[in-house]
Structure 1
Amino acid sequence: MAARDEIALIDDDAELLDALSFQLDAAGYHVHSFGSAAEFLVAVSGLSLACIVCDYHMPGLNGMDVLRALAARPVQTPFIMLTAQGSVPLAVSAMREGSVNFLEKGQPASELIAAIAQAIATAVKGKEQVLAHRIRLQTLTPREREVLALVADGLSAKQIAQQLGTSYRTVETHRLNLGKKLDIHSPAQLNELLHLAGER
């Protein structure tokens, strides 16, 4: 039997917490329920979560506080904010802080389940892309890595040649090899690849 994705569900409304936990469990998720943000933040480091679903309005720490606390962690987990009183400014703020979705309470559970599935699928695809980019970067020689860093910093081939004490033609050869190995054709593409691979 395949392992079930683990979901953290955070809400101070015990009745809603139980109902959503039951529905998510029935949908095939392993649910960790928390009645407060503080309780969740104490436990989160020991969990391997695929998604976090958190109420915005809670006494003490609210959903935005949870988002901000999680931003400092090295592993980013998809985060869905729930609220009983949604507003456009609140939704925009939540998205800016890193929430992948913002849902109003009272919607059918199927909407939350679909949002969780989409958030997990997007995160998995992103991790696969990061791994693919890192593998491509590992194919580079040490000298190509040096040239890569200087190209990413915006230096021209002539400037790179001067800095590395080599010929312009040699630098151009390295740049051609970089383009072939990494399938990139501009400094912008290079910087995007480095960013996605977590190297910028």
Structure 2
Amino acid sequence: MMKHVLSAMVMNQPGVLAHISGMLASRAFNIESLAVGETERPDFSRITFVVAGDNKVVDQVRKQLEKIVTVVKVMDYRDQDILERDLMLLKVSTVESGLSKVKELAEIFRAKIVDVGQSHVMIELSGPERKIDAFIDLMRPFGILELVRTGRIALAREVSLSVEDALKPPTPYDTSEVEIEV
């Protein structure tokens, strides 16, 4: 199954996320990843979804999202050149190995140690999903105490989904070149 990234510009109102996730769940669409946050305008949020399925499934998800009144615009990143990131915070034990080996691996992955305790460190890492997965696998032998990840966020390199673009009405059909027979 292919993973697809969709982004929805929505009105920032109470209940919007619950409505959207409930609608998707009721139609048996599985959301693998979800990230929500305000946009450049606080009255709008962007929801980034990762869903698994073929093109038909993704088209159905997009169509269902577009029916919801609080959804302003949906962008399917299929066939787009996009930049994707996940964010992770990880608390790993330093009891057995000490700090130096964990610190060395964090530096290789360009992760940041954001907190140090007597028996653990907390590490922040952002990047593509596979980078985060690889780092987690390397940290397992040290003893992962806690782990939390955001959902994926993404932006297309060439196409924009700004609030202003999403709010523009569709271009009216140009009838100046249409011949009408009487």
TM-score, normalised to structure 2, is 0.28
Give the structure with the larger strand fraction: 2
Higher RCO by CA contacts (8 Å cutoff, separation 6 or greater): 2
